[in-house]
Amino acid sequence: MSLIAVDAMGGDSAPREIVEGAIIAAGNGVDIVLVGDASQIEPILEGRGVSIAVRHAGEIIGMHDDPAHAIREKKDSSIVVAARMVADGEASALVSAGSTGAAIASAAFLIGRLKGVKRPGIASIFPTGHVVMDVGANIECRPEHLVQFAVMGAALSQVYLHIENPKVGLLNIGEEDSKGRALEKEAFALLAASKAINFVGNVEGRDLATDVADVIVTDGFTGNVLLKTGEGAGKAIQKMVFEMLARPEYQDAVSELMPAFIELRERLSPETVGGAHLVGAKGVVVISHGRATRIAIDNAIEIAAEGAERDLVGTIATGIAAATR
């Protein structure tokens, strides 16, 4: 069974919510080590009836610390110690709700990149079932980076969504291959020429509501805007639905409809996914939101465990090697 190293001190509600999420995941059979201040972690675990190892780390990298500087100076920080466990083969995956920059820097400098990967990126699995990459790690990209994002995003689709040959689309402002900036035009040509990618051409933001593509690739700036817009749209839809259900004329139907709408709310919630994947590193890395609750942490740990068990890293490495032949 794969061991998941969890940064217990990362996040707005650490360590309480992180530990509580780990307790839920451990109850579901996941093998976990909590990394952080043992004096704060162990009292929360006491008497809970689960077996979770604790690796003491006495320092914390805060949200306002410079990531690259902090991982060099705070060698006993929870995120650094957890990343070293992955790098040394003690753990198969890392989960953190702390500083995204620190998680990226730890993965890049401590865990290391897979052979051939030019830029690790952040991939998110949307509630629609689409994998979108990059959603924030690389604000500026070159066309060849988007080709590798396509390969790595397709690996996520294969491992988590069980799609054998994922369709890859390039996010653009129109379907025609002449659309977009120089980045999209050059990336289009490279993607179309690659025999390792099932490229279906340009797609638009509205294609999140279609099955034209399974994987959508873009630069980190555009992808992050798409991600945050999607989250906002989901919240707006929920608000409108529940406002409508509160109308007197619908009260008779509410009891029958409410379970379906609650299910919809859960499906649209970022907590259901738990976190985004930092892909391209030599280990599974899942980054959860700083405001993550125990539910999100549980889900983040469980998807990290699934990625480790189903060899996400190996799938990515195979795809990168095929794309660079």
Tokens of 239: 């608000």
Listed in order, strand segments (DSSP E) in the chain are: 3-7, 31-36, 53-56, 93-96, 121-125, 131-133, 167-171, 198-203, 215-217, 276-279, 284-287
Q: What is the pLDDT of residues 150-174, one digit of tens each?
A: 999 999 999 999 999 999 999 999 9
**Closest by CA position to 117, among listed 86, 148, 154:** 148
CA dist 275 and 195 (Å) reads: 31
Q: What is the CATH number of domain 1-115+280-310?
A: 3.40.718.10
Q: For residue 290, what pLDDT is reported?
A: 86
Q: For residue 256, what pLDDT is reported?
A: 81
- Residue 186 confidence (pLDDT) above 80: yes
* Largest separation between any pair of C-alpha atoms in the chain: 64
Could you state, in order of their start, the residue ranges of all structural domains in the chain? 1-115+280-310, 118-272
CA dist 315 and 211 (Å) reads: 23
- Residue 294 confidence (pLDDT) above 90: yes
Kindly list the strands in the beta sheet with 31-36, ordered across the sheet, starting from the edge strand earlier in the chain: 53-56, 31-36, 3-7, 93-96, 284-287, 276-279, 121-125, 131-133, 215-217, 167-171, 198-203
Q: For residue 251, what pLDDT is reported?
A: 83
Q: For residue 293, what pLDDT is reported?
A: 93
CA dist 251 and 265 (Å) reads: 19
pLDDT band for 34, please (50, 70, 90 cuts): very high
- Residue 53 confidence (pLDDT) above 90: yes
Q: What does pLDDT average to over the chain?
A: 93
Total-model pTM? 0.91
- Residue 9 confidence (pLDDT) above 90: yes
Mean pLDDT across 121-131:
94
**Closest by CA position to 275, among listed 252, 300, 255, 256:** 300
Q: Is 64 exposed, middle or buried (0-12, 13-18, 19+ CB in 10 A)?
A: exposed
Mean pLDDT across 182-200:
96
118-272 shares the fold of 1-115+280-310: yes
Q: For residue 269, what pLDDT is reported?
A: 75
Tokens of 30: 């996941």
Q: For residue 202, what pLDDT is reported?
A: 98
pLDDT band for 122, please (50, 70, 90 cuts): very high
- Residue 270 confidence (pLDDT) above 80: no
- Residue 259 confidence (pLDDT) above 90: no
Q: Provide the CATH topology of domain 118-272.
A: Isopropylmalate Dehydrogenase (3.40.718)
Q: Do 77 and 60 contact (CB within 8 A), yes or no?
A: yes
